[in-house]
Amino acid sequence: MPASKRKSFPWHIVVFLAPAVIIYTLFMIYPLIDSLRLSLYTVEQQGGPEVFVGLGNYQRLFTDPFWQPQITRAVGNTFEFFLIHMFVQNPLALLLASLLSSRFIVGRSIYRTLIFTPSVLSVVLIGFIWQLILSPVFGRALFAQIGIKLPPLLGQAETALPVLSLVSVWQWVGVPMMLFLAALIAIPDELIEAARVDGATGVGVFWRIKLPLIMPTVGIVAVLTFVGNFNAFDLIYTTQGALGAPDYSTDLLGTLFYRTFFGVQLQLPNPTMGTAVAGVMFVIIFTGVLIYLFTWQRRLLRNTVEL
């Protein structure tokens, strides 16, 4: 960069980076490393000393007959949770955003605010109200009025996770919607007009002009969804408890981590195995982010140059 090369030492870069790096390192990285360190240790007995075991805990996690089913199930459930968000939440957000981006829709900002409202509510409220809506006594009465016999959706292993994923989609769809909206509004009108002059229909304009232009945002939304879902915990914990009931069918990596690290009821905290679960979460999310950075973003950069 011209400005920085002329000077002997680019102090301004240091100034720009220092506040973020200092606060972040002190209150985030240091505590996390201090804790993740534990995943390389084990404690033989309650109150006893920590013994270094290298990657032993991770090996145990993936081979031990007690741990292996738990971690594979949690990884599988978390992927299902993520995929439902990816293929329901994000297309829905894009659809809503493209409707809201039209200048001819009256009351856009009202729609926008109302659709976003669920995102600001606390998970305790969300969990409470959806449990009430889907509950055997109260929800059934409501659905019976419109002629639907409501099955115990949150109590069956086959339906609990998909239904809770949809509740989560319902809560969070406003966030990607806002991101898409920002990107769509930023598209210069001339481009769209030019395409119309060439005879493109509304749908054609969307696929040929708008979608390619908002690809960077699609990428960001995808990676944010991935990161958010692989850290998900609150909704499941509030509605189904730390055991991911029924029969662990809603157990995510987040709940497995919490239950192992902090304990549940009579099950004592196991910080060393708990941090190992967190380590697995880290590796999965890190891989996802790397894939995003080195394939998606690279390709996009190349595309923009070609444009």
Q: Pick from 197, 203, 305, 307 the residue near another protein by CB under 8 A.
A: 203
d(CA 96, CA 13): 40
Of 244, 234, 191, residue with least CA distance to 213? 191
Of 196, 214, 252, residue with least CA distance to 70? 252
| Identity of the residue, 77 or 101, whose beta carbon is nearer to another protein in the bound complex | 101
Contact string (CB under 8 A) for another protein, positions 34-73, x = contact: xxx---------xx------------------x-------
Q: Which long-range contacts (CB under 8 A, 24 or more apart) does 67-71 make?
A: 67/273, 70/248, 70/251, 70/256, 71/256, 71/277, 71/280
Please tell me whether residue 101 binds another protein under the rule CB under 8 A. Answer: yes
**Residue 255 CB, nearest approach to another protein (Å):** 11
Q: Considering only residues 69 through 98, tell me which ones interact with another protein, judged by CB under 8 A.
A: 92, 95-96, 98
Largest CA distance in the chain: 77
| Identity of the residue, 53 or 231, whose beta carbon is nearer to another protein in the bound complex | 231
Say how many residues touch another protein, by CB under 8 A.
127
**Residue 80 CB, nearest approach to another protein (Å):** 19
Contact (CB, 8 A) for 61 and 273: yes
Q: Pick from 29, 51, 148, 291 the residue near another protein by CB under 8 A.
A: 29
- Which residues, 6 or more positions from 304, have their beta carbon under 8 angstroms from its beta carbon? none
Contact string (CB under 8 A) for another protein, positions 232-271, x = contact: -x---x--xxxx-xxxx-----x--xx--xxxxxxxxx--
Please tell me whether residue 169 binds another protein under the rule CB under 8 A. Answer: no
Contact string (CB under 8 A) for another protein, positions 118-157, x = contact: xxxxxxxxx-xxxxxxxxxxx-xxx-------xxxxxxxx
Of 86, 65, 78, 64, residue with least CA distance to 251? 78
Contact (CB, 8 A) for 108 and 189: no
